[in-house]
Amino acid sequence: MMVVTGAVGFIGSCMIKALNEAGFNNIIAVDDFSNEQKNKNLEHKTIQEKVDRAFFFEWLDKNFQHVEFIIHLGARTDTTEFNKAIFDELNVHYSKEIWKRCIAYQIPLIYASSAATYGKGEFGYNDDESLIPQLVPLNPYGDSKNEFDIWALGQKEKPFFWAGLKFFNIYGPNEYHKGRMASVVLHAFNQIKNTDKMKLFRSHNLNYKNGEQMRDFVYVKDLCDVILFLIDHRKNSGIYNLGSGKARTFLDLVKSTFKAMGKKEDIDFVDTPVDIRDKYQYFTEANMNKLKAIGYSKPFTSLEKGVEDYVTNYLIDNRYQ
């Protein structure tokens, strides 16, 4: 059995689809299943059992001998939430309990870290584990992810295989429920559909022109391919970047969205909200050499092709992956 936490979320549900396509059908889906909109993400997927996250450890203690792998994608991911206690409970303590059981029960583990750990990028975006304790995230979400990375690296006992993946800016199907935290592609699609225009955040940094803030955008299908590779690889444990390796501007992304929708470009700029302005990242780009060095060689989807696939095959008809 394969366990996927965060199963009804954006990335978790896409991961289950990828597992099904790779021949894995005995999947234990772990999450809070109270959100009916999110539950739509699991439709037309093959799973063996749903387990509420509150009862997962009790379930695992009884069924560990049947578990082949844990893919821990469940987390509180809201970068605008500033209640540290929420992140301590869901992102740090919960992850520690999974880690400890993976050691006790000899289960390999992949877990989601985040590029939010890099803060403003003072130390670059290199997944050198010796630099991790020096990183300065910009919000409690990033702090929680970095705190767990540091804790994991400091443990004398570790699962026989484990990998922490620093997700960069993931976009793709099954994020309809995410609201403000959805990718810019989904926001762009909705704005363009409703108004034939798109508003982007104005730059408040003299080093960047409006719309030329840069992110490492990575298609969720590429993320799933990396996890499938690591499930099979099961060596070279450690923390890895997971981005495309190529920073692109928000203007590039929005122009690709207009093109995929067959619409004429009409882009305007608005001030970045005050509550996130001083914590805004103007540039991220994953150094992907470490993952490539252990044998991952599949090319990442270009921004243009990823946006085209997402818009034409999912968003236009409100489809799920």
3-class secondary structure, 168: coil
3-class secondary structure, 153: helix
Can 120 be counted among the known catalytic residues?
no
Residues in the chain: 321
User: Which strands form 109-114's sheet, in the order they lie side by side?
Assistant: 49-52, 27-31, 2-5, 69-72, 109-114, 162-167, 238-242
Q: Which of 111, 102, 180 is nearest to 147 (CA)?
A: 111
Question: In the numeric block, which tokens belong to residue 294?
Answer: 């252990």
Task: Check 125, 141, 176, 240 and give the catalytic one.
Answer: 141
Can 141 be counted among the known catalytic residues?
yes
Question: In the numeric block, which tokens belong to residue 16?
Answer: 């289950």
Task: Check 120, 178, 246, 279 and give the catalytic one.
Answer: 178
CA distance readout (Å), 277 to 81, 142, 180, 267: 14, 16, 15, 20
- Separation of alpha carbons 31 and 17, rounded Å: 16
Phi-psi region at 206: left, alpha or beta (left = phi > 0; alpha = psi -120 to 50): alpha
157 CB-near residues (< 8 Å, 6+ apart): 103
Q: What is the largest CA-CA distance in the chain?
A: 57
Question: In the numeric block, which tokens belong to residue 297?
Answer: 């060689």
**Residue bearing tokens 């099954």:** 174
- Separation of alpha carbons 104 and 101, rounded Å: 5
Q: Which residues are catalytic?
A: 141, 178
